[in-house]
Chain A
Amino acid sequence: MNDRGIRLLLLASVFTIATCGLIYELIASTVASYLLGDSVTQFSTIIGAYLFAMGIGSWLSRYVEKDLLRVFIQVEFLIALFGGSASATLFVLFAHVSSFRVVLYAIVLVIGTLVGLEIPLLLRILEGRLQFKDLISKVFTFDYIGALLASLLFPLVLVPYCGLARSGFLFGILNGAVGLVALWALRGQVRGARALQIQGIVVLALLGAGFAYSERIITWSEASAYNEEVIFAKSTPYQRITITRGGDDLRLYLNNNLQFSSRDEYRYHEALVHPGLARLPNARRVLVLGGGDGLAVREILRYPRIESITLVDLDPSMTRLFSTQEMLTRLNAGALTAPRVHVVNGDAFTWLKDNREVFDFIVADFPDPSNFSIGKLYTTAFYQRARHALAPGGAMVIQCTSPFVARQSFWCIDETLRACGFVTEPYHTLVPSFGEWGFILASLHPLTEEWNFPGGLRFIDAKSVADLSHFPPDMGRVPVQVNRLNNQALVRYFDAEWARYSQQ
């Protein structure tokens, strides 16, 4: 290839690497704001760290004394590898490392440093081939045009059509290709061209595989459970709270498990509260255990006769979030700041032990019994304590996971309540985002068959409430053990049943 050809080739690579460099920066910032929330902070700190690392790279370039071309090509391969895989790596590691920020900034620093090496090296490679003023003018022109292209491509094409992981791999491949083309064009001037070529091909093959399997990599990483945009994410001492939005649908996830979708949560919360509370004409005091989103409280507040509602939720971050964030208080109708509502942050089990008050209606709205510590909140020991907090003639309702997916688990809760001397009324309903969902109403004496529903309900009425307690054969009662602290039978059923279900 003649000198002009080589010059053109090198300038074309300036353009490509400039595009790639900016894409990596945007990917890292976007991934960080997706996963960590607070996009302003993420964008600004990631860009800052990235530019700073580029400065380190530029400074380091002075220590490259010979074999400029060889070093340049190697740098291209390294950027291709790190930059291209950064997005997928971050998604995967997010769920598995405790100090995600350390990993994030380490990757950003490595990529930034390598990108910072590129332009100074290229300038020196082209030094003898162009006049200084031409050199500077051309290199920077292509550099900035590349940046413009990247900043337009990223939001308009890459994120919507390719996804973050796949875009990363795509630009990694482009970056690696620049290195390989340069190597091929200048093979006579590079020492050890053959070994370099093999390196390049390996890098491209890896990135190609990543590109092909990126969908699967992302599915594997927990963080990508969200198809929607993550608008809030926070790790509290108790759990990871994630809120997503897709169109008008607001979703809450705790430890990556869906808690509600704003599209159909009314079905769940109406079914949780009204079949029980509408039958207690004398109910004045209500206790809600769990349910820090305030949505069950919103339903309870529909009854003017209720004088006080005590909500006991473990996580102050949850109740604070659902008392202050406008989007969320709109959803729960400001339930948590209502004058009749008293919010306590504490563990329900311990709180019940010290409690001396009695309540006419108790709502136990805990996460599913997926581990031994939550399993304790569904044991005989727990229900006995709850029983002491129940006024004569009162009732308690428990969210009981899906009787379709976890049939033994559902009936295990029923068996446990009956072992504690409760009369139970199991019922279920369809919540589209959850599937078929189950509840159990427990009381010390059978409740009246008369319902007085408040106004404003969208799902439960006198007619639909009658259908809830019919269990078709595939969800019918099965013989199960009583769940106790010393056998944790429920967690064992639940684990086996959901594992079987998710394998299908």
Chain B
Amino acid sequence: MRTTRRKFIGTVGASAAAMLVGCKRARKFSGAIVGASAAVGHRLRLGNFPAPSETIDAGVVIVGGGIAGLAAARRLDQLGQRDFLLIELEHQPGGNAASGQNAVSAYPWGAHYVPLPNDESVEVLALFEELGITRGHDANGAPVYDEEFLCADPMERLFDAGRWQEGLLPQIGITADDRRQYEDFFARMESFRSMRGRDDGPAFAIPLDLSSRDAELLALDGKTMAAWMTEQGWNSVPLRWHVDYSCRDDYGAGIEHVSAWAGAHYFASRRGRASNADRDAVVTWPEGNGWLAKKLAAPCATRTRSSGVVFNVEQSDGAVVVDYLDVEREQSVRVKTRGVVCAAPRFVAHRMIRDLPGGNDAVYSPWMVANVTLDQLPSGSGTPLAWDNVARASDSLGYVVATHQNVHPVPRETVITHYWPLDAAVPAEERQRALARTHADWCERVAADLDRVHPGIHSHIRNIDVWVWGHGMIRPVPGFIWGGAREMMQEPHGRIVFAHSDMSGISIFEEAFTRGTQAADALVALIG
């Protein structure tokens, strides 16, 4: 009888303990879902905006303050067209290069690095020189980088089979066949890298429009990366994981979804040079590309209207009107202008410009990005903490350490940026699901994902902020890049020129920046 009772008490005790543990698990994290785009986007779909109560004039209007819009602003200044107004939907410009800051560190909300630009990325190279990221060239013409901007070593580590290894290519437990396929795959990418098509263009260039139009290469755009890899006999599980990871990292969707041309572009387009770094080096900052966005946004701060939702762009006989809602004042403003750089995503452009011809069938990948403030650095067995830390078994892309570039020897607190492309189901479904989730739902997912590689880390989390990118980036599905859709998007519409990485089909800094610069050139040529 006594033992039974003791057992009973034991069981109760154990369940009480389990409940306590459970409570700890379901712990409330401070923080919030930030970013206005989802709510504003919804409003744009409903369309009930107040009539403009104020009319102003501006020489040029730039719609959208992402990298393309900011690049257009910079070029307009360079061309002497200083009379412009930049209207941005969020409370600060930056677009996918948005960033935040708390007491511990600045951190990115999206794009967080730029690889060494290729020689043909002339606009980006000029910007780098202007901002002091590079300081002249060596005798071979290779730019000399300011090493404090180059991503510090160690750059990447992968959690696989219970420990951290250096680099993102799985090395633990791989077979001789896997190794052979690694060599084969990377040898092919290396040959693509130096290959020129029959028209003498580089097989894969950045900006992408400089790539060769050789039909044999463009044929890769007709199939998925997965299908092409299968054709080539690349069936190694770790190799396919690595390529899938890389595609998800750049396009928000894996090898089953993106075209083989886009997949190969990721691996074979980088020919950047540096006098003082390897080819695979990247430049980065605590706030990611937010550093670049802030540098670009500073000169046009007084000409920027943030929290402004453009809902109507109309033109008649050489004049354009742009109507936007000033969200803070809940008042609409009409801007009369001579020309517009539309640097908003294409699906948004279709809502603002009602007579814009063409379909609206581009596919966008939804993303979730969380910035997690920790009171101690994550560690783990094997390779020490790197800049980019990835778990092979996770659906997320892992996390990037915002304080990595910090030269202070003993950082104790940090912010890590956790990236999660939502690509399990079709984008519309994932988007709906993502927007329905609460802050607590996201926290639970993020904390659980981190806890798998860092057991107990949830007790070191001080804050989690979350940003849901419903239309995070254009997805280069088969046929999109070379199927003709992009050509139509590049056509000006009256006095409206377009600038966005959507027009390239891949969402990278160099594309957005070049598109913005070219759009400003085109508009000034158009309106004189």
A residues whose Cβ falls under 8 Å from a Cβ of B? 237-239, 314, 347, 349-350, 371-374, 376-377, 379-382, 482, 484-488
Cα(A93)–Cα(B283), bound, Å: 41
Is B330 part of the binding interface, using a Cβ–Cβ cutoff of 8 Å? no
Residues of B within 8 A of A314 (CB): 409-410
The residue of chain A having its C-beta at the shortest distance from the C-beta of B404 within the complex is A372
Cβ A485 vs Cβ B153 within 8 A:
yes
Question: Is residue B488 within 8 Å, beta carbon to beta carbon, of the partner chain?
Answer: no
Whether the Cβ atoms of B151 and A486 lie closer than 8 Å is yes
Residues of B within 8 Å of A238, CB to CB, are 409-410
A237 to B276, CA, bound (A): 34
Q: List 29 interface pairs A-B (beta carbons < 8 Å), by A numbering.
A: A237-B410, A314-B409, A314-B410, A349-B407, A349-B408, A349-B409, A350-B407, A371-B384, A372-B153, A373-B409, A373-B410, A374-B409, A376-B152, A377-B409, A380-B147, A380-B276, A381-B148, A381-B407, A482-B276, A484-B276, A484-B277, A485-B152, A486-B147, A486-B153, A486-B155, A486-B278, A487-B153, A487-B277, A488-B152
Partner of A488, one of B148, B154, B281: B154
Question: Which B residue's beta carbon lies closest to that of A375?
Answer: B153
- Report yes or no: A486 in contact with B281, Cβ–Cβ below 8 A: yes
Determine whether B43 belongs to the interface, using a CB cutoff of 8 Å to chain A.
no
Q: Report B424-476 residues with CB < 8 Å from chain A CB.
A: none
Which residue in chain A gives the minimum CB-CB distance to B283? A486
Q: Classify the interface of chain A: helix, strand, loop or mixed.
A: loop
B interface residues with partner A (beta carbon < 8 Å): 147-148, 150-155, 276-278, 281, 384, 407-410, 412
Q: Considering the chains assembled together, what is the distance between the CA atoms of A374 and B151 in angstroms?
A: 16
Do A347 and B153 have beta carbons less than 8 Å apart? Answer: no
Taking a contact as CB atoms under 8 Å apart, the answer to whether A485 and B150 are in contact is yes
CB distance from B5 to the nearest CB of A (A): 15
Q: Which of A371, A381, A382, A487 has the most CB of B within 10 A?
A: A487
> Contacts of B147 on A, CB cut-off 8 Å?
379-381, 484-486
Residues in chain A near residue B278, CB distance under 8 A: 486-487
In the assembled complex, how far is the CB of residue B138 from the closest CB belonging to chain A, in whole angstroms?
12
Q: Which of B148, B151, B409 is the most central at the interface, judged by chain A CB atoms within 10 Å of its CB?
A: B409
Closest 8 CB pairs of A and B: A488-B153, A349-B407, A486-B150, A373-B409, A381-B147, A485-B152, A347-B408, A238-B410
B409 neighbours in A (Cβ, 8 Å): 238, 314, 347, 349, 373-374, 376-377
In the bound complex, what is the Cα–Cα distance between A377 and B152 (angstroms)? 13
Give the docked Cα–Cα distance between A376 and B407 (Å).
7
Contact B410 A486 (CB under 8 A): no
Considering residues A238, A239, A376, which has the most beta carbons from chain B within 10 angstroms of its beta carbon?
A376
Closest to A384 in B: B147
A-chain residues with CB within 8 Å of residue B408 when the two chains form the complex? 347, 349-350, 373
Closest Cβ neighbor of B281 among chain A residues: A486
CB closest residue in chain A, given B146: A381
Given the complex of chains A and B, what is the CA–CA distance between A380 and B407 in angstroms?
Answer: 13
Measured between beta carbons, the chain A residues less than 8 angstroms from B154 are 372, 488
Q: How far is the CB of A368 from chain B (nearest CB, A)?
A: 13
Assembled-state Cα–Cα distance A349/B148 (Å): 11
Min distance, Cβ A155 to any Cβ of chain B, angstroms = 39
- CB-nearest residue of chain A to B410: A238
Interface pair A347/B407, CB less than 8 Å apart: yes
A239–B412 Cα distance when bound, in Å, is: 12
Smallest CB separation, A282 vs chain B (Å): 32
Contact in complex: B407, A486 (CB < 8 Å): no
Residues of chain A with a CB closer than 8 A to B151's CB: 486
Give B155's nearest chain A residue, CB to CB: A486
Contact between A485 and B148, CB atoms less than 8 A apart: yes
Q: A485-B147, A488-B152 are in contact. List 5 more A-B contacts (CB 8 A).
A: A347-B409, A371-B384, A372-B154, A484-B150, A484-B277
Closest CB in chain A relative to B151 CB, distance in Å: 6
For B153, the chain A residues whose CB sits under 8 A away are 372, 485-488
Q: Which residues of chain B are within 8 angstroms of A237 by Cβ–Cβ distance?
A: 410, 412
Chain B neighbourhood of A482, CB < 8 A? 276
CB pair B277 A486 closer than 8 Å: yes
Question: A482–B277 Cα gap in the complex (Å)?
Answer: 10
The chain B residue with its CB closest to the CB of A377 is B409
For A349, A484, A486, A487, which residue has the most chain B Cβ atoms within 10 angstroms?
Answer: A486
With a cutoff of 8 Å between Cβ atoms, the chain B residues found around residue A487 in the complex are 153, 277-278
Least CB distance from A486 to B in Å reads 4
Determine the distance from Cα of A380 to Cα of B151 in the docked complex, in whole angstroms.
14
